[in-house]
Chains A and B, each alone.
Chain A
Amino acid sequence: MLVWSRWGRGGLWALLALIVGVFYVLPLAVIALASVAGEWNGMLPRALTLANYAGVLHGDSGGQLRVSLVTGAVASAIALVVGTWAAIALRAIAPAPRRLLDILFFVPSAVPSVSIGLGLLVAFSQPPVLLNGTVAIVVIAHLVLVSAFSYGNVSAGLARLSPEFEEVAASLGARPGYRLRHVTLPLIQPYLIAAFSLSFAMSMGELGATAMVYPPGWVTMPVGIFALTDRGDVFQAAALTMLLALSTLVVLVGLSLVPTRSSNR
């Protein structure tokens, strides 16, 4: 306890309540309330309705939920495979080149998303590969943006992994492929799940690169939300934002409940 006086403590708690209330609770509460508001001209909405949700689910936005979920799942899955592969393969490399390669795999996280989108547009609007206007370019943009986080999470897991398990397995004659499937990957499973979860959450909320590359037939929720606010359909925008946040959280909570080996024991 840093502060002993009752007044001092009370004052600090009041300060914290004020900060958390103004910066975090109020925005969440307001957007949740706006998503069920029929009309709102004062402190509180005049009427509550589910029409906004019905509107976004039946209109264009229903498809956008599916587009976002598919893009997020596919991009995160590929990023997980590539990132895990890279992190595991890097362990066989000598320390000096390994440090350099490690930085290379992290660099995509430092580049602004809009520039990643611009690069993909420039690169794949000309031969040899034409992808402009396809679904693939959106998935690739998301894959590039989340790849560093997948890689980072898996390498953090591998760094904490005690080498003895793999050494014992190897000394018992387990071949590398068997060792990978039955020893290494199960041991770092929590990190694999964390990597996928973070990638998925980032992909669901991605806007900068998507705005650069999306074709008219593959509109993600963030792009759809922007279109709604731009049109002035603010309550439907709030409903779609809530839908985006809730669907992300449902997937994250679901993934956190996946039983792992360490929790079974």
Chain B
Amino acid sequence: MTAVAALAPAAAPPDRGGFMIVPPLLVLAALFFYPLALIATQSVTLASGALDAGTYAKVLSGTLFLSALTHTVEIALAATAGCLLLGFAMSLILTFVPFPGARLVARLIDLFIALPTFLIAVALTFIYGSAGIFNMSIMQATGATEPPIDFLYSMPGVILAEITVYTPFIMRPLLAAFSLIETAQIEVASSLGARAWRIVRQVILPAAQPALLAGGSLCLLLTVNEFGIVFFIGAKGVMTLPLLVYGKAIQEDDYTTACVIAVVNVALSLALYALYRVLVARAGAGRGRR
């Protein structure tokens, strides 16, 4: 008893009753872990009810699955790289080259976290779509019959939309990290004639590294899981894992295949989530040391 009391320091008031965790845990188990376990079971169950892992061999070697996996990873990597670049550049200017209204701009971008992801997909079809404002204007001006801008309904369109939607997720931790950097340090360095690029490389980038890693891994997770944007853009030939799960289950009524793909997708997501947790823990530890 005394040992337990010593282990639980001031953080927790003397609440006894660890059993109180049982009700929410039951809710989580019934509504999340039980369905997740059934996906795994169903993935090795044939329509006849027999257990068989053969579906895995068939699905995982299929070209549809392989191209979906490749597309998912490529889109996630490209979008995350874009988010990091864009988020870093914007945060850098907003914090270290400030202007009246800089906070307002940061708020505007942050607003997108609260908006549905497919909003951007809808907006982009109005801008760059085949009947969008740019294509219609150019076609009217030149008399062309084919829309000249046609990147939207392919990988670049999906990547552009995801960069827009997920950059705010990079900027939140980055702006917080930048606000901790002593501006006096930068003022002195730059007044002593240090080049801006050198200050970015030697002072700002090292301080931002934990936030960039944590934000980047979160971005990877979110872009691997993204459904709405790909669904709305409806790019032909851009099949991702979540879209394939939806297609197999809802459009083809093939639940066993859908479950096999879902198992792979969930495993990939959980691995990325583990990476994210590790990087966040390290970022937190780094902050504690300073």
Give A residues with C-beta under 8 Å from B.
1-4, 8-9, 12-13, 15-16, 19-20, 23-28, 30-31, 34, 40-44, 82-83, 85-86, 88-95, 101, 103-105, 107-116, 118-124, 140, 143-144, 147, 163, 166-167, 170, 176, 179, 198, 201, 204-208, 211-212, 222, 225-226, 229, 234, 237-238, 241, 244-245, 248-249, 252
In angstroms, how far is the closest chain A Cβ from the Cβ of B29? 9
Known: A31-B122, A41-B140. A16 touches B34 (CB 8 A): no
Flag if B86 contacts A170 (CB, 8 Å): no
State A41–B232 Cα separation when bound (angstroms). 21
Question: Within the complex, which residue of A3, A120, A179, A241 is in contact with B97, where a contact is CB–CB below 8 Å?
Answer: A3
Flag if A107 contacts B21 (CB, 8 Å): no
Known: A122-B39, A248-B114, A249-B114. A208 touches B272 (CB 8 A): no
Produce 1/0 per residue, B102-117, CB < 8 A to A: 0001001101111111
Flag if A140 contacts B31 (CB, 8 Å): yes
Flag if B266 contacts A222 (CB, 8 Å): no
Flag if B93 contacts A211 (CB, 8 Å): no
What are the residues of chain B within 8 A of A27 when measuring CB–CB? 119-120, 123-124, 127, 164
State A249–B92 Cα separation when bound (angstroms). 28
Q: Is B259 an interface residue (CB 8 A)?
A: yes
Flag if A103 contacts B270 (CB, 8 Å): no
Inter-chain contact total with CB atoms closer than 8 Å? 272
What are the residues of chain B within 8 A of A167 when measuring CB–CB? 10, 13
Known: A27-B164, A205-B115. A234 touches B196 (CB 8 A): no
Flag if A205 contacts B262 (CB, 8 Å): no
Flag if A13 contacts B99 (CB, 8 Å): yes
What are the residues of chain B within 8 A of A20 when measuring CB–CB? 90, 105, 108-109
24 pairs, CB–CB < 8 Å, chain A vs chain B = A1-B98, A1-B190, A3-B196, A8-B196, A15-B89, A16-B90, A16-B93, A24-B164, A26-B123, A26-B127, A86-B24, A92-B12, A92-B15, A93-B21, A105-B24, A147-B32, A176-B15, A208-B231, A212-B249, A226-B232, A229-B122, A245-B119, A248-B115, A252-B114
Residues of chain B from 237 to 270 with CB closer than 8 A to chain A in the complex = 241-243, 245-246, 249-250, 255, 258-259, 262, 265-266, 269-270
Flag if A104 contacts B269 (CB, 8 Å): no
The residue on B at minimum CB distance from A102 is B277
State A57–B244 Cα separation when bound (angstroms). 33
Interface centre among B20, B109, B224, B269 (most CB of A within 10 A): B20
Q: Is B221 an interface residue (CB 8 A)?
A: yes
Known: A43-B133, A103-B277, A122-B39. A91 touches B163 (CB 8 A): no
The residue on A at minimum CB distance from B250 is A212
Give B residues with C-beta under 8 Å from A.
4, 7-8, 10-18, 20-21, 23-25, 27-28, 31-32, 34-36, 38-39, 42, 86, 89-90, 92-94, 96-99, 105, 108-109, 111-120, 122-127, 133, 136-137, 140, 163-164, 167, 186-187, 190, 196, 199-200, 221, 224-225, 227-228, 231-232, 241-243, 245-246, 249-250, 255, 258-259, 262, 265-266, 269-270, 272-273, 276-277
